[in-house]
Amino acid sequence: MIRPGKMLVQVLQSLFKKSATSQYPFKKSEMPAHYRGKINFHPELCIGCKMCERDCPSNAIKIVKVGDKKFEAQFDLAKCIYCAQCVDSCIKKALESTKEFELAVLDKNKLKVTFCADVKKDTDK
Ligand code: SF4
Ligand code: SF4
């Protein structure tokens, strides 16, 4: 058992030591290369093959035809497990993983995101 006097010395010493942990969220963390964060969609590259939709293990992505050779992607980020299988399945490179990881929200509906033509819109707005 550590004696109180020795413990006090250790406490005082720790006050002047450099922190071993990062100061998140005051200091932003840089994610490593190939980090699998929020998925991004490039509608101009999509051909509507739906391979991403078929391979998604969480049923979190839906591709919808919205016009002649135009498709939008509907993501339910609450279901997404960020495995990036959809990115790997897309032969047209229309999907990509980003380094965005700060996705916590109080309203689950805010995690339903639709990417269309040239605009990204949140369905709750
Ligand atoms: S796999 Fe790629 S090209 Fe095919 S529907 Fe999905 S995003 Fe579009
Ligand atoms: S990252 Fe995984 S879970 Fe999320 S939409 Fe893509 S395939 Fe589905």
**pTM of the full structure:** 0.79
Give the residue whose CA is nearest to atom 8 of ligand 1: 46
16-66 per-position pLDDT tens digit:
888 888 888 888 888 999 999 999 999 999 999 999 999 999 999 999 999
CATH 3.30.230.10 fits 37-120, yes or no: no
106-117 per-position pLDDT tens digit:
998 999 999 885
Nearest to 94 by CA among 56, 49, 59, 32: 49
Tally of CB atoms within 10 A around 64:
14
Q: Is 93 in contact with 101 (CB distance < 8 Å)?
A: no
* 54, 62, 74, 81, best to mutate for ligand 2 pocket (most atoms within 8 Å of CB): 81
Distance 63 CA to ligand 1 centre (A): 8
Is the beta carbon of 92 within 6 A of some atom in ligand 1? Answer: yes
Q: Domain ranges in the chain?
A: 37-120
